[in-house]
Structure 1
Amino acid sequence: MESNILLDLKNVNKVFGNNHVLKNINLKIERGKFITFLGPSGCGKTTLLRSIAGFYTIDDGEVWIDGNLVNELPPYKRGTPMVFQEYALFPHMTVFDNIAYGLDIKKRPEAEVQERVMAVMAQVKLSGLEERYPHEMSGGQQQRVAMARALVMNSPIILLDEPLSNLDAKLREEVRVELRTIQQELGLTVIYVTHDQLEALSMSDQIVVFNKGAIDQYGTPHEIYYKPRTQYVADFIGTTNFIEAVVVQSKEGTATVSYGFGGDNVTITTDEKLTEGEEVLLSVRPESLRLNHPDISGFNIIGVVQSSMFLGEKERYFLADQWGKEWIVDAYDIGQKTFDGQVRMSAAIDKIHIIKKVSP
């Protein structure tokens, strides 16, 4: 295994009854990265996390951690502490004893336990709460105890299974920032499971997008958002507008496509290998479109405003083009200005992304 690769999954498969939950998962994760497994319920992300931890036995494939094949190892020998959605704290133990539990099981010297627990409590802002019990703490504090219990083991990788889902929105955002800060300061390798797209985009070095037990895309948040490889990824991450198009000409790094019933052409940068006459989709994010903008040329569609929605920092417009297709456009910082009636929707060429169609 390459020295910088901490986790290497090779052709991992998992079946529950007649349900093929994980389908030939191949994934390499570098040291010191914050990796998010993202997808809707039932897509396989939590099953893969628990298979890495050893709570599930995979049916086929290999799990390598830090250069060691761990398929046959039980969870406590894998060095993969896990923070659960329910925190799983011992209610009869103090904060100190909850955090020290793993070290006590390993029979570490008392002085070492004291030093490591106090150090990690300071890292997660729990100093002074050593004698509290879980029921005496807020949800955010309980989450920090669960995180500290994982951190104190000095393991090379930490697994988090939707640990913030029980917190309210404001506290979620605060703890999200804390988790990312701790991960970066300590150089930890973290695998984080969530179905929350904003959480994934804001916290991750890289995101793994799951679709029905398989990986649709693995990339940086910017790549996942602006350069989705499939229609599923583009549609699942945020909001986007799709328009049918046909490849007119394809060269190395660019493609000219014809879009709309009017047959307008636009040349777009792309890494996809395309052939003349191939049907593709164009993806344009709502915030990338401009309404009645004088300076944007290239991609233009005429539409009629059907309705709008004020969302504070932006106004969201719902439009229909001349062929009846619905569009969503987000206008920011517009003050009191509103759009109505017929408008021109425009987008800069570098904001348009080509997606290959996948045969059903």
Structure 2
Amino acid sequence: MSSHILLDLKNVSKVFGSNHVLKQIDLQIERGKFITFLGPSGCGKTTLLRSIAGFYTIDEGEIKIDGQLVNDLPPYKRGTPMVFQEYALFPHMTVFDNVAYGLDIQKRPEAEIQDRVKSAMAKVKLTGLEERYPHEMSGGQQQRVAMARALVMNSPIILLDEPLSNLDAKLREEVRVELRSIQQELGLTVIYVTHDQLEALSMSDHIVVFNKGAIDQYGTPHDIYYKPRTPYVADFIGTTNFVDAVVRDFANGKATVEYGTSKRTASVTIDEAVTSGEKVLLSIRPESMRINATNAGEFIVSGFVKSSMFLGEKERYFILDDDMKEWIVDAYDIGLTRYQGNVTISAADDKIHLIKIS
């Protein structure tokens, strides 16, 4: 195994009763990366996180941390501190004692505890608040205490289970930036669980998209967003226009595809081979389309503005084409311009992503 790989999961499965929660998960995570497990409730992301931490015993497979098989190790011997959604702070303990708790359990020397707690608290900007109690702190400060308690263990990997879900929107954004900054500054390996797509896209080096106990895609935020491998990933991450199309030709990594009764065509770059006559799905993001601004060779559709919605930085249009398919198109920075009636919508070929469905 490469020395760059910190966490290695092979064929990991977990069953609760008749519910197969994790299905043969294979995943390798490099050290020093911010990895997000993303998916809706019940998809298996938190179960996998807790299995890595040792709170659940897996039914099949291997979990290796830094090359060591940890399947039979209890949580406190795995070096995988977890920051929980509800922070799990002890209300009767001061901030200092909360942060020092794991070191106390290990019976570390008092001088070492003092140094490590002070260092951890400085990293999350809590210096001077050591004697406060959790109830005397804001939600954001409590979240930082929970993070300091994980950092103080000097572990190679930190697990975070939806730690921002109890914060309001503005504070979430602030703490999100802080968490990413701490991770990069200290070179930590972080695994972060969320169902929030924006959170995943804005914070992660790589995203693992879960679907019913399995991994649908593992990739960078840009790949997950612009090059989804499955309809599920394309639909779950943001908004997209799905287009049923047929392949007419494939050569040199480019597929010519055809859509609709008027047989509009587009040339789409694709990594894997497709065959003539094969039915495929195209994914085109609303922000990748333009209204009444066509260029030669682009994918072009005529339509009628059914309705629109003003969203501040953009106007979202719902447009019906000749086949009565509804398209979502986002127009940015258009001032007081409003499109009505008959329009053309278009997308450059490199903004169209082909998804195999067979």
- One fold, TM greater than 0.5? yes
- What are the residue-to-residue correspondences of 1:141-152 with 2, within 5 Å? 141-152=141-152
1:246 counterpart = 2:246: yes
Pairwise CA distance, 1:252: 3.5
Pairwise CA distance, 1:303: 1.2
Question: Residue 231 of structure 2 corresponds to which residue in structure 1?
Answer: 231
Question: Residue 126 of structure 1 corresponds to which residue in structure 2?
Answer: 126
Pairwise CA distance, 1:318: 0.8
Which amino acid in structure 1 is aligned with residue 342 of structure 2? Q
Which deviations, in whole Å up to 9, do the C-alpha atoms of 1:179-229 show, x marking residues without a partner?
Answer: 000000000000000000000000000000000000000000000000000
Which deviations, in whole Å up to 9, do the C-alpha atoms of 1:90-140 show, x marking residues without a partner?
Answer: 000000000000011111111111111111111101011000000000000
Question: Residue 180 of structure 2 corresponds to which residue in structure 1?
Answer: 180
DSSP-derived class of the 2:267 partner: strand
- What are the residue-to-residue correspondences of 1:87-166 with 2, within 5 Å? 87-166=87-166
Question: Residue 221 of structure 1 corresponds to which residue in structure 2?
Answer: 221
DSSP-derived class of the 1:327 partner: strand
Distance change >3 Å, CA 296–CA 346, structure 1 → 2: farther
Separation in structure 1 between the aligned mates of residue 259 and residue 122 of structure 2, nearest angstrom: 58
DSSP-derived class of the 1:13 partner: strand
Is the contact between residue 296 and residue 347 of structure 1 (CA under 8 Å) also seen in structure 2?
A: no
Distance change >3 Å, CA 53–CA 296, structure 1 → 2: farther
Pairwise CA distance, 1:251: 2.0
TM-score, reference length from structure 1: 0.98
How well do the aligned residues superpose, as a CA RMSD in angstroms?
A: 0.8
Separation in structure 1 between the aligned mates of residue 236 and residue 58 of structure 2, nearest angstrom: 27
DSSP-derived class of the 1:129 partner: coil
Moved over 2 A (4+): 294-297
Q: Which runs of 5+ in 1 are unaligned?
A: none
1:27 counterpart = 2:27: yes
Which amino acid in structure 2 is aligned with residue 150 of structure 1? A
Question: Residue 64 of structure 2 corresponds to which residue in structure 1?
Answer: 64
TM-score, reference length from structure 2: 0.99
Question: Residue 54 of structure 2 corresponds to which residue in structure 1?
Answer: 54
Separation in structure 1 between the aligned mates of residue 192 and residue 330 of structure 2, nearest angstrom: 30
DSSP-derived class of the 2:245 partner: strand
Pairwise CA distance, 1:352: 0.3
Is the contact between residue 294 and residue 300 of structure 2 (CA under 8 Å) also seen in structure 1?
A: no
DSSP-derived class of the 1:2 partner: coil
1:333 counterpart = 2:333: yes
Separation in structure 2 between the aligned mates of residue 75 and residue 296 of structure 1, nearest angstrom: 60
Distance change >3 Å, CA 116–CA 237, structure 1 → 2: same
Separation in structure 2 between the aligned mates of residue 256 and residue 294 of structure 1, nearest angstrom: 19
- What are the residue-to-residue correspondences of 1:206-355 with 2, within 5 Å? 206-295=206-295, 297-355=297-355
Question: Residue 2 of structure 1 corresponds to which residue in structure 2?
Answer: 2
Which amino acid in structure 1 is aligned with residue 341 of structure 2? G
Which amino acid in structure 1 is aligned with residue 289 of structure 2? L
Pairwise CA distance, 1:141: 0.3
Separation in structure 1 between the aligned mates of residue 62 and residue 319 of structure 2, nearest angstrom: 50
Separation in structure 2 between the aligned mates of residue 92 and residue 110 of structure 1, nearest angstrom: 21
DSSP-derived class of the 2:346 partner: strand
DSSP-derived class of the 1:76 partner: helix
Which amino acid in structure 2 is aligned with residue 215 of structure 1? I
DSSP-derived class of the 2:158 partner: strand
Separation in structure 2 between the aligned mates of residue 296 and residue 34 of structure 1, nearest angstrom: 41
Pairwise CA distance, 1:261: 1.6
DSSP-derived class of the 1:268 partner: strand
Which amino acid in structure 1 is aligned with residue 54 of structure 2? G
Pairwise CA distance, 1:296: 5.7
Is the contact between residue 302 and residue 342 of structure 2 (CA under 8 Å) also seen in structure 1?
A: yes
Separation in structure 2 between the aligned mates of residue 282 and residue 119 of structure 1, nearest angstrom: 51
Which deviations, in whole Å up to 9, do the C-alpha atoms of 1:70-96 show, x marking residues without a partner?
Answer: 000000000000000000000000000
Separation in structure 2 between the aligned mates of residue 342 and residue 43 of structure 1, nearest angstrom: 42
Number of residue pairs matched by the alignment: 358
Separation in structure 1 between the aligned mates of residue 290 and residue 348 of structure 2, nearest angstrom: 9
Pairwise CA distance, 1:264: 1.9
Separation in structure 2 between the aligned mates of residue 19 and residue 235 of structure 1, nearest angstrom: 25
Which amino acid in structure 2 is aligned with residue 269 of structure 1? T
Separation in structure 1 between the aligned mates of residue 253 and residue 85 of structure 2, nearest angstrom: 44
